[in-house]
Amino acid sequence: MTTVCTLAWVHGLVQGVGFRYSTQREALKLGLTGYARNMDDGSVEVLACGDAPQVEKLVAWLKAGGPRSARVDKVLTEPHQPDRQWTDFSIRY
């Protein structure tokens, strides 16, 4: 399998509701690496790297609304070529 990376920006009520932690838990369950971090505009940026079907599952989970406490209005994604190798899925500050 080929490793792919996708950058996603999740907009809506996604900060202060445990969104990054839920995303980390979901990503680790899917065997992905990367990170989730809050952005200044109130969105959450997610970088997910791994097998293409697993990355697609995480993106689908994000688009479906993530954790129950969140409200996702839109998810923008684009392919990404990271400048480094990720070894785990972290929460960045």
Active site residue ranges = 20, 38
Give residue-wise pLDDT tens across range 12-26.
999 999 999 999 999
- For residue 50, what are the β-bridge partners? 4
Over residues 65-69, the mean pLDDT reads 90
Choose between 83 and 13: higher pLDDT. Answer: 13
In the predicted structure, residue 1 carries a pLDDT above the cut 80: no
Q: Which two tokens stand for residue 79?
A: 């392919």
Distances (CA, A) of 9 to 1, 38, 56: 25, 10, 14
**Over the chain, what is the mean pLDDT?**
95
* Among the listed residues 4, 69, 65, the one whose alpha carbon sits nearest the alpha carbon of residue 30: 4
CA–CA distance, 58 with 24 (Å, rounded to integer): 10
pLDDT tens digits for range 36-64:
999 999 999 999 999 999 999 999 999 99
Say how far apart CA 57 and CA 23 lie, in whole Å: 12
